[in-house]
A and B are shown apart, each in its own frame.
Chain A
Amino acid sequence: MRLILELLIVAVLAAGIGLGLTGWAVNHPPMFGAVRSGPWETDPKIGTADVDLYALAVMARRGEAPLAVGDGLSFTAMRDSDGRKLRQNCTYVVSGATPAARVWTLFVSGAKPAAAPDLRRAFTNTELTHDANGHFRVAVSSEVQSGDWLPIGTGDGRFSLVLAVYDTTLDALTGGRDVPELPEIQRTDCR
């Protein structure tokens, strides 16, 4: 009787802990070895043959394919520079120096796109306007904004911003520092 009870404890614990951890990990990627810069983070190994098991499981579940390292790197921000979650009912200003890459883009993921199909879906390095210091400034909002405007769908759900840099390496981006200098994300107002 006692042996059966002991085996039952072992089995329930093993299944609960093992499958529970796996289920949690594929929904909340642990991002081992991530490189962070302000609100932005990337997994520099995701586009290489050294990709870790967690990243591979997450991609399999989402049906995604990563950017190959020879193609580019994509940085994701789920929060603004003050650490608050990005929400569709707020307006954000993404600004800063342009990344050291031949081609880069800024786009929204994890939210429904703006309802009008002809609205802009992404900003590329060639489309942005720059000030006298070579800095850019993009407003991310579901409402029309002056200047460079990246529309998002209406609602109050969470979303992510993706900054994808192409034909460059992390070393080129960081320029000898520990982490690359990437744009800031400032919240201006919420509805």
Chain B
Amino acid sequence: MMRWLMPVIAGVLLGGIVHVASLLGVPLLAQADAYARLKPLGPANAFHPIVGTGKDAPLPGQDPAFETLACVFDVSDGPVRIHVPVGPDYMALSFYTRPAIAFFSLNDRSALAGMIDVELRGPDASSAPVDQRPDIIVINAPDTTGFVLLRGFVAAPSYRESVEGMLKNSRCERAPAP
């Protein structure tokens, strides 16, 4: 009996390592994670609306009381600028790395003069902002790729069209060259 104990203990210990390694691998190997689902919506560095909230929607599990725009970003060739005019209702801008780790978020209360203006830069972009103005919020992304979600609260169904219209005026685009 004892002679089988060693391989069993070794197997269990190794199982723990396999578990952690495979757990780390799930986000790397997942075929349909948030980033992979948002990428086909359109070109990178531009906002695209997310339609639907069900399991097969571009981004499942979203609150149906919100209108959402997504911008898949790539800051490897330079910063990305995000302009969001805010309305009277709640609105939030959240930044995610490729494996959907939220690294920054702000909401309409951070707006200056009715506008949220963000310059998103890569992890090593340490130079001065392209367009140096005090009302621009500069964010350094931990990675060169990821995505941004702009979510506008629809207080009641009758407000949906006005929130949609409000969101249409926001822009996610490559920052102009200095």
Residues of A within 8 A of B (CB): 6-7, 9-19, 21-22, 25-26, 47-49, 51, 53-54, 56-57, 59-72, 74, 102-103, 105, 107, 109, 112-113, 120-124, 126-127, 162, 164, 166-167
Contact = CB atoms under 8 A, between A and B. Distances in A.
Contacts of A59: 27, 33-34, 100
Contacts of B11: 9-14, 17
Contact of B109 (A21, A49, A167): A167
Contacts, number: 179
A160 B133 CA distance: 46
Contact of A70 (B20, B27, B64, B104): B104
B61 interface: yes
Interface residues of B, number: 58
16 contacts: A9-B4, A9-B11, A13-B14, A18-B14, A22-B22, A25-B23, A47-B94, A49-B102, A49-B103, A59-B27, A66-B102, A70-B107, A71-B151, A121-B65, A124-B154, A127-B155
A64 B53 CA distance: 11
Given A14-B17, A19-B18, A65-B59, 11 more contacts: A9-B8, A56-B26, A56-B101, A63-B36, A64-B100, A65-B147, A71-B105, A113-B54, A122-B63, A124-B156, A166-B107
Given A16-B15, A64-B100, A71-B105, A22 B8 contact: no
A21 B26 CA distance: 13
A13 B12 contact: yes
Interface of A is mostly: mixed
B80 to A, nearest CB: 18
A149 B53 CA distance: 20
B16 interface: yes
A64 B59 contact: yes
Interface of B: 4, 6-8, 10-12, 14-24, 26-27, 30, 32-34, 36-37, 53-54, 59-61, 63-65, 90, 92, 94-96, 99-107, 109, 142, 147, 149, 151, 153-157
B96 A65 contact: yes
Given A18-B21, A105-B63, A167-B109, A63 B34 contact: yes
A47 B14 CA distance: 31
Contacts of A16: 15
Contacts of A21: 15, 19
A164 B95 CA distance: 19
Contact of A68 (B24, B54, B95, B99): B95
Given A56-B27, A65-B149, A167-B109, A109 B92 contact: no
